[in-house]
Amino acid sequence: MIGKLKGIVDSTGEDWVVVDVGGVGYHVTCSRRTLQNLAAPGGAVTLSIETKVSDDAIRLIGFETDNERDWFRLLLGVQGVGTRVALGVLGTLAPDDLARAIALDDKKAISAAPGVGAKVAARIAAELKDKAPEGASLAAVLDGQVNGAAAPVSPAPMRDAVSALVNLGYPQAQATGAVSAAAKTLEGAASTEQLIRQGLKELAR
């Protein structure tokens, strides 16, 4: 199984790139966003690879990072999401943007991807809410709210509030979404205690 390709961009198409690795050309299917970020033909490229094996073909799916590939795998676990739809989502939303949309239950942002209707967007938000964000994605969700006009709240109380809700037994993704929603509701400088109280109200809905 191929997990990574490092070589030279040979040629590209609407949804693929041929990567020349030591004189062997590998045809790799990619999302629109990944293709847009590739070097021009002749430039160096490194792609994380997901190998899809079927009865009649072996297909290589390429991603800029391992994180993006992990999101692809998560998306494929959602009912009604296949390779084309998963790549459409990742071609529209960067991993941190997708994490933010899921944490905030922003089905409109998810449904902006081609091939994703309201029902599929709702399933993605619901089925992945306990699986993301993690690590840097958590910071992206909180920082997105802190830096946005809708929630001018200091990041420290928000992170402390998320930590408190996690300690109470709530999954990190749910806690992040609840605190972010609480920050929007409070619309101003809020203490950790206020965010926790409002976050619990959001979780009880």
Give the whole-angstrom CA distance, residue 182 versus residue 200: 9
3-class secondary structure, 50: strand
Give the whole-angstrom CA distance, residue 73 versus residue 127: 13
Residues contacting 133, CB < 8 A, separation 6+: 96, 99, 100, 102, 103, 140, 141, 172, 173, 176
**Buried residues in 129-155 as b, exposed as e (16+ CB within 10 A):** bebbbeeebbbbbbebbbeeeebebee
Q: How many CA atoms lie within 13 A of 190 on its CB side?
A: 30
pTM tops 0.75, yes or no: no
Q: How many CA atoms lie within 13 A of 91 on its CB side?
A: 21
**10 Å Cβ neighbour count for 190?**
23
pLDDT of 154 over the 70 cut: no
Tens digit of each residue's pLDDT (9 = 90 or more) over 68-119? 999 999 999 999 999 999 999 999 998 888 887 887 778 888 999 998 999 9
* Averaged pLDDT of the chain: 86
Q: Which band of pLDDT confidence, cut at 50, 70 and 90, is reported for residue 142?
A: low
Residue 160 host element (H or E): helix 155-167
Give the whole-angstrom CA distance, residue 200 versus residue 74: 27
3-class secondary structure, 128: coil
Three-state secondary structure readout of 70-122? HHHHHHHCCCCCCHHHHHHHHHHCCHHHHHHHHHCCCHHHHCCCCCCCHHHHH
- What are the phi and psi torsion angles at 11 (to 5°)? -160, 165
Which tokens in the block code for residue 204? Answer: 């009880």
Which among 33, 69, 35 has a CA at the least distance from the CA of 52? 69
Q: What is the pLDDT of residue 149?
A: 40
